[in-house]
């Protein structure tokens, strides 16, 4: 594979690079289809979990950014949230 990359590189002023035409014609070894499908079975739930956790983190950041100034200024009281949390059994 490295000799194939070497053949398809363009010489640059600072460093060599693989040109677009070379990338398209580059032969990349692929694992057997069964192995790719098995990997997808394992990796898909993990990728989905990452997406869900990223969305939750973004929501938490937004909530923090909205609440923190109000808590610091005294516009919102922590006791208010504690009472609501106790009422909900959290």
14-23, 26-35, 43-52: least confidently modelled range: 14-23
Which parts of 8-90 fold into alpha helices (H)? 20-25, 33-73, 78-88
**Mean pLDDT of all residues in the chain?**
82
Nearest CA to 18 among 29, 9, 27, 31?
9
Q: How far apart are CA 19 and CA 87, in angstroms?
A: 64
Answer whether 9's CB lies under 8 Å from 17's CB. yes
pLDDT band for 81, please (50, 70, 90 cuts): confident
Q: Is the pLDDT of residue 21 over 70?
A: no
Q: Cβ–Cβ contacts within 10 Å for residue 77, how many?
A: 11
**Higher local confidence (pLDDT), 44 or 4:** 44
pLDDT score for 14: 47
Alpha carbons 66 and 49: distance in angstroms, whole number: 26
């Amino acid at each position: 594979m490295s000799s194939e990359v070497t053949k398809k590189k363009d010489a640059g002023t600072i460093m060599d690079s693989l040109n677009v035409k070379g990338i398209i014609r580059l032969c990349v070894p692929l694992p057997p289809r069964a192995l790719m499908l098995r990997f997808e079975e394992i990796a898909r739930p993990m990728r989905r979990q990452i997406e869900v956790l990223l969305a939750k983190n973004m929501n938490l950041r937004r909530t923090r950014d909205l609440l923190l100034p109000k808590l610091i200024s005294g516009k919102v009281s922590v006791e208010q949230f504690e009472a609501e949390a106790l009422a909900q059994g959290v």
